[in-house]
Structure 1
Amino acid sequence: MAAACALTAGAVLLPLAQAAPEGGRASAVRGPAVSVAAPGFPWSAEDTCQDPTASLRPSGVDGPAIERIRSAGKLVAGVDQNSFKWGYRNPVDGRLDGFDIALVKAIAKDILGDENAVIYRAIPTSQRVPALQDGRVDVVVRTMTINCKRLEDVAFSTAYFEAGQQVLAPKDSAITGYDASLKGRRICTAAGSTAEAALKSEAYGSVPVSVPNQLDCLVRLQLGEVDGIITDNALAAGQAAQDPSIRLVGSPFTREFYGVAMKKDADDLVRRVNKILEGYRAGGSQSPWMKAYETHLGPVLPGVGGPPEPKYRDG
């Protein structure tokens, strides 16, 4: 366990500073309000709105947000550098790599003609929304779940990945899932995450522990400072791949969708990213999305057949 902890901290856990530049079928949304939470999830009744995964229709027309990025000559992207296979420092060359990073490069390629015309800013989970509101980044591509609460503060693209909250625990643990087996256990979540919101709503008698970043939970679990973690199963699969002594337990208790987050008034950028995502999904097994999945996520999260279908609001 100590060796695994040292490997994780040494290879992936880096200071959260500004990173250097690196050289289907659509459906309109109508009908009753829905929630991204699974049935029975404690806060699903409150966190509802007209389908939060429905975004603006795609367009390639330039506007003020696009022009600002072009004038700067760089896309400023808020990312993670600590989530294995999503956004992390590749130990081979030290560059940012992962599924989310591949999507950032596709956005930069379309808008600026160069996938490396990016300034990456590594931001903690709790700073994803403030970083957009303060203008520190143009986009956040950081396993960010689309939900109604966040839509009050930022705009989202259509969904590019589906995940669900699940419990991660040592293989010899008595924890069986998001249930009464958590009673008296120290359970770690990242501050500002949907997992933290879930645990605040229904802790099952556990002792919640909040940390700035998801990988901090894994290190604390390895050190014996917490007994379990709640996070997206897509992220947890990468953590389990780093440490064979832990595993996912129980079943996912939410249904969540990741989106590219942007400033609330950046409609032209939202539409442009949605247009980029249309091309990114297209091509079935040969699509850029599937190639990125097979390269980064397939080995740790097998069985994903493709991206979620986009949903658009009328207008």
Structure 2
Amino acid sequence: MPAGLRGWGGVGAMAALCVLALAFVLLLPRTQPHGAPARTTPGGLGTARATQAKADNCKDGDAQNMSPAPSAAGGPTVDAIRSRGYLSVGVDQNSYNWGYRNPNNSSGELEGFDIDLVHRIAKDILGDADKVQFRAIPTNERIPAIRSGRVDMVVRTMTITCDRLKQVAFSAPYFLTGQQVLAPKTSPITGYDKTLAGKRVCSATGSTAYDHLSADKKDGTLPASTDITTTVPNQLDCLVRLQLGEVDAVVTDGALAASQAAQDPTVQLKGGTFTKEYYGVAMKLGADDLVRQVNRTLENYRKDGAWKASYDKWLSATLGDGSGSATPPTANYR
């Protein structure tokens, strides 16, 4: 790990970049003028309604199996992207090893596991991995950005859920993780358990972490005295709150938490994961042709070893080679 990213200073530098996320447009394709307009993804109303009906029949634990089978066939959404000449993608710029700007990289380009996947999708659709317009999207803006047409897709550690399938379409899963607790090494917190009683816990607005915290507090799984009122637009902001002593713990995806622990040696994961969640590429309802194209990319990405190569480069140091996350999840289509 580059020395510039070690410890609190590295995290502080990363956190400072959060402000830039509000600008959204970060890196434009080399072939496009600055300020190229966003567009609304075409999609037939009938297709959108059919997708909605499938989402209504979704059951917990099966959301990742609701995506259509891979296909190389074109369609209105893919044709519009090819005609425009670049792919517009919502990403993170502050998640270490997932989507971030490495301060030790003079090029200033985004790097990480999610970014590698975006470049592969662009290559398959447009024949050029660099024909991408990246837009920094806060956690709570992922779905609005897709529905409004500001982006063609979001590739940003986004968990596939039944509720979200009513609002956006998802690819087949490309990563397996689970919720986990992050806290200072000196903290008496031992995990997602009774040791959170009386503790202040931070999560991102619109995240599955907050959904679990809220539901578990209501049904008594989480101690009634646990304070879950601290929510932030970007997940990394929780780590900053933790460092400032404003909260006692963070609940987020274990894959993200592991990367944050790698940045800051004063914090660590507490206990194991307490959920099973799958990341997917999110797109607009009705854009089935684009979803099928992305699923085709994912099939090839797994088979040709590119997924594993990206994992080894960005995530093996923090997640290990023997974890459930070290193997791409199996795709099951509707």
| TM-score bracket for the superposition, by shorter chain length | 0.7 to 0.9
| Partner Cα distance (2:283, 2:162) in 1 | 15
Task: Give the secondary-structure state (helix, strand or coil) at the position aligned to 1:241.
Answer: helix
The CA RMSD over aligned residues, in Å, is 1.6
Distance 2:13 2:195 in 1: 32
Distance in 1 of aligned mates of 2:29 and 2:293: 22
Give 1:269 shift: 0.1
Aligned residue runs from structure 1 range 200-215, under 5 A: 200-203=214-217, 204=223, 205-208=225-228, 209-215=230-236
Match of residue 42 from structure 1: none
SS of the residue 1:210 aligns to:
strand
| Distance 1:288-1:170 versus aligned 2 partners, 3 A rule | same
* 1:35 is the counterpart of 2:56: no
Whose helix proportion is higher, 1 or 2?
2
The one of 5, 23, 26 equivalent to 1:19 is: 26
Q: Gapped runs of 5+ residues in structure 2?
A: 1-5, 31-56, 218-222
Instruction: Judge which range, 187-196 or 201-210, deviates more.
Output: 201-210
Q: Which moved more, 1:293-302 or 1:152-161?
A: 293-302
Secondary structure, aligned partner of 1:149: helix
Contact 1:77 1:120 (8 Å CA) reproduced: yes
Identify the match of residue 289 of structure 2 among 268, 273, 281: 268
Q: Matches of 1:234 and 1:186 in 2, distance apart?
A: 22
Identity over aligned pairs, percent: 53
- For residues 194-231 of structure 1, what are the alpha-carbon distances to aligned partners after superposition, in whole Å with 9 as ceiling and x for unaligned? 00111111232211110011110111111111100000
Superposition TM-score, scaled by structure 2 size: 0.83
Of the three residues 75, 93, 100, the one matched with 2:114 is 100
Q: Report the 3-state secondary structure (helix = DSSP H, G, I; strand = E; otherwise coil) of the residue aligned with 2:280.
A: strand
On the 8 A contact 1:52/1:151 being kept in 2, the answer is no
Matches within 5 A, 1:229-308: 229-283=250-304, 287-303=305-321, 304-308=325-329
- What TM-score, normalized by structure 1, do the two folds share? 0.88
Aligned length: 287
In structure 1, how many angstroms separate the alpha carbons of the residues matched to 2:29 and 2:8?
A: 28
Residue 189 of structure 1: SS of its match in structure 2?
strand
Change (3 A) 1:72 1:12: farther
Name the counterpart of 1:5.
8
Task: Give the gaps of 5 or more residues in structure 1.
Answer: 24-31, 37-49
**Cα shift readout 1:98-130 (whole Å, capped 9, x = no counterpart):** 000000000000111111100000000111000
Cα distance in 2 between the residues matched to 1:11 and 1:83: 8
CA contact (8 A) 2:160 2:280 kept: yes
User: Partner of 1:219: helix, strand, or coil?
Assistant: helix
- 1:282 and 1:233 map into 2 onto residues whose CA distance is 25
2:135 pairs, out of 121, 133, 144, with 121
List structure 1 runs of 4+ shifted beyond 4 angstroms: none
| Counterpart among 198, 214, 221 of residue 212 in structure 2 | 198
- The amino acid of 1:9's aligned partner reads G
Indicate how the Cα distance of structure 1 residues 33 and 132 shifts in structure 2: closer, same or farther if over 3 A, else same. Answer: closer
Aligned ranges for residues 11-90 of structure 1 at < 5 Å?
11=14, 13-14=16-17, 15-16=20-21, 17=23, 18-21=25-28, 34-36=59-61, 51-90=63-102
Q: Which residue of 1 aligns with 2:36?
A: none
For residues 125-140 of structure 1, the aligned pairs below 5 Å read 125-140=139-154
Pairwise CA distance, 1:299: 1.2
